[in-house]
Amino acid sequence: MIKAAGPVLPPEKGMRHEIPDRGQDRVTPPMPWRWAASVLAGLLSGLAWAAVMWEIETQSLLAVLLALAAPQFWFTVLFLGLLVLAFSLLLHSLFAGNLIVGAAGTVLAFVNYFKELITTLPLNIGDFTLIGQVGQIARLNSASLTLSRHSLLAIAWAVLWLLLALFFSRPLRLRWGWSALGGCGAALAFALLFWAGVNPLVYRPLKADATDAVIPQRSVNQSCGVALGLWRALYLTLNRDLGEDYSLSHMESVLSEVRQAAADQPGWEAGKTRPNVILVLSESFFDVAGLDGVTFAEDPIADFRALKEEGVSGPFFTRTLGYGTCNIELEILTGINTGLLSGEDLYSLAPGVFTRLPSVPSLFQREGYYTAMLHTYDDSIYHRAGIFRRLGFDDLYFSSDFAAFYEPAAQAENYWTYMNTRLSGGLYSDDLMTDLLISLYEKHVEDGPVFLYGISMENHSPYLDKYSDEELTVSFDSPLTGEAADDLRNLSQGIHNASAALGKLADYFRTVDEPTVIVFFGDHRPGLGLSYGGTVYSELGIVPPDGGIWSPEDYVRTYSTDYLIWSNDPAYLPAEPGGEAEASCNHLGAELLELAGIDMPLYWRFIRTIAQDRVIDSLLYHRGRDGETSIPAPTEGAGVRNLSLFTDLLNDAVYGKQYVTEALS
């Protein structure tokens, strides 16, 4: 029997009346305040992370406060805020959105800060190709990777903001459907503002037009901040514009002008023996005795200075300061000058690009030379092997390979035990590199002339406490103290050792019958950044501590090293012994070919033509043979038209359809 239901009683006063969830609220939009709170949380997060990045970059709380009046700061706030909002809504978590965007921004700010500290140059888009080598890079520069008080303050603020985001993550959470819809809306807003319309709406107002490929990254960062500066570099890379005139007919016209302008190559004297050519890249070598305010007890580069009287030498202008050795190598060996393009790192290009144009090693190889490269380090950072094999080297040797031709290493009971006896300043010595070059020459000289390329490593940064007390033999007087004095002392020791190793190499080749030319150069000056700010150069009053306000003369002082061309037969020198001339990474490749009388294709003849009027044209500064140096590219004067033609050739070969590239070979 079914009992009748009892009477339905009204709910007691104050008792909550539960209504079954039938899904109605799944289609009901969130209250407006929840939308407003979500948007506000995202934008406040953008403000928090922009402040963190500014504190890391400027190492100044006052600079963060002053940035509140700067438009680039608020554009960065909006940039980061929209990203946080999009990730937070799409992932259904304010904490997750802050963690992704905040961690990425903080890491980029620290990487940029430390790179500027070590090299004086900011992070650029090409540096991301080295992300797999970050451990090796950090190990090489570990002495400089210390956290200042301002860096610790920025980290503390970042952690606090993440805790706040975690606390409010659940209270501000929307239902999945509405959260996903809002996330898509935030992503769309970001795409419209910071991609589709970013140039007219953001970069042009900030005076960093994204169609101008040759604005230096440092200038862009000053105008836009680090986050938007790197975003601009990515935008520029993915939206590269070769110009309205770029076409087959335009490039054929360019080629015709180049053929008319390219100087004829001097004929090689009949019966004259092809010389061996030994190219030596000396890490961070320059005439340290020429630093203002520094007096040495004895000349630290006595061997180099003595050889200058027997050879041709002068300042060597380079495209960078403190880092980027592989870029300088590739510019010399390929002639590709990205200072006329977008200034990107050459090692970030696909290896196949380097087969499109005739390289220096391939032209030596074509003339019957044995070609080899040796590097007194491993291949873990720039991965040279993949590129250099395509340049025309018969053999490549790194620090694990020397037993293949060097008897002391081959006969050692334990290879690495022997190699450790050749360390100096914690790295394989320049003296070892001289022995390796001599041994490699002796192994192959019977087969014909050789083109050997040696890359040193001993004088690589960091310099703080680099050499032991027993290894330090160089002494000087200067106004420097503490870290700055220690950096300079260790740097000077490395430069002294490089000079002595060069003297040893020249002494050996004085005794051989085959004509030999040695081309020795410093790749760049070291950055010499100090943990407390500034550099050794600024401490000596040579340049201002802020690289953003450098004059053309400041670049001349710091972006130049020294070079030497020496031969055991003066007839192979490019000028009378003791002569001086300015050289650069832009044109040294053509000089190498001319020294050996290598038949130059049109591409290199045109580079040699440009070199008659220009010394260097990098992204940061420009210098002509008349001694005029400028920061913007020259718009008139000797050689300007040739620079424009060469830019078109490089754009066509590197980024374009290679309409006329084959004709250059």
pLDDT score of 370 more than 70: yes
What's the average model confidence in pLDDT over 166-172?
Answer: 90
Confirm whether 42 is domain-assigned: yes
Of 321, 291, 289, the closest CA to residue 303 belongs to 289
HSE-CB of 60 using CA atoms within 13 angstroms:
8
Which residue shows structure tokens 């710091």? 558
**CB 315 within 8 Å of CB 562:** yes
Degrees to nearest 5, angle at CA 165 with 189 and 79: 25
Of these ranges, 166-180, 229-243, 470-484, the one predicted with the greatest mean pLDDT is 470-484
Which residue shows structure tokens 């450790």? 420
Confirm whether 191 is domain-assigned: yes
pLDDT band at 70 (very low <50, low <70, confident <90, very high): very high
Per-residue pLDDT, 44: 95
Q: Is the dihedral of CA 214, 218, 223, 225 positive or negative?
A: positive
What's the average model confidence in pLDDT over 615-640?
Answer: 91
Q: What phi and psi values does residue 304 have, to the nearest 5 degrees?
A: -60, -45
pLDDT score of 4 more than 50: no
pLDDT band at 130 (very low <50, low <70, confident <90, very high): low
Question: Whole-model pTM?
Answer: 0.83
Confirm whether 186 is domain-assigned: yes
pLDDT score of 161 more than 90: yes
Per-residue pLDDT, 22: 43
pLDDT band at 517 (very low <50, low <70, confident <90, very high): very high
Q: How many Å apart are CA 664 and CA 613, to the nearest integer? A: 21
Q: DSSP letter string over 234-279?
A: HHHHHT----TT-SHHHHHHHHHHHHHHSPPPPPPPTTPPPPEEEE
pLDDT band at 145 (very low <50, low <70, confident <90, very high): low
Q: How many Å apart are CA 518 and CA 328, to the nearest integer? A: 18
Q: How much is the mean pLDDT over the chain?
A: 90
Over pLDDT 90: what percentage of the chain?
Answer: 69
* Count of structural domains, the chain: 1
Confirm whether 535 is domain-assigned: no
What's the average model confidence in pLDDT over 280-306?
Answer: 97
What's the average model confidence in pLDDT over 384-399?
Answer: 94
Confirm whether 132 is domain-assigned: yes
Confirm whether 567 is domain-assigned: no
Q: Residue 70 sits in which domain range?
A: 30-238
pLDDT score of 314 more than 60: yes
Per-residue CA distances from 110 to 75, 76, 527, 530 (Å): 20, 17, 17, 15
pLDDT band at 305 (very low <50, low <70, confident <90, very high): very high
pLDDT score of 632 more than 80: yes
528: DSSP letter: -
Q: Regarding predicted confidence, which is higher, 217 or 7?
A: 217
**CB 517 within 8 Å of CB 274:** no
**CB 101 within 8 Å of CB 87:** yes
pLDDT band at 219 (very low <50, low <70, confident <90, very high): confident
pLDDT band at 27 (very low <50, low <70, confident <90, very high): low
pLDDT score of 25 more than 70: no
What's the average model confidence in pLDDT over 236-249?
Answer: 86
pLDDT score of 55 more than 80: yes
pLDDT score of 657 more than 60: yes
HSE-CB of 571 using CA atoms within 13 angstroms:
10
What are the beta bridge partners of residue 508?
none
Over pLDDT 70: what percentage of the chain?
Answer: 92
pLDDT band at 212 (very low <50, low <70, confident <90, very high): confident
Residue 273: left (phi > 0), alpha (psi -120 to 50), or beta?
Answer: beta
- Classify each residue of 388-408 as buried b or exposed e, where b means 16 or more C-beta atoms within 10 Å of its C-beta: bbbbbbbbbbbbebbbebbee
List the beta strands (DSSP E) in 407-557: 423-424, 427-428, 450-455, 476-477, 516-522
- Each residue's pLDDT tens digit, 572-596: 999 999 999 999 999 999 999 999 9
SS3 424: strand
The dihedral formed by the CA atoms of 177, 178, 184 and 187, expressed in degrees to the nearest 10? -140
Confirm whether 595 is domain-assigned: no
Q: How many Å apart are CA 307 and CA 154, to the nearest integer? A: 52
What number of other Cβ atoms are within 10 A of residue 120's Cβ?
27
Confirm whether 380 is domain-assigned: no
pLDDT score of 32 more than 80: no
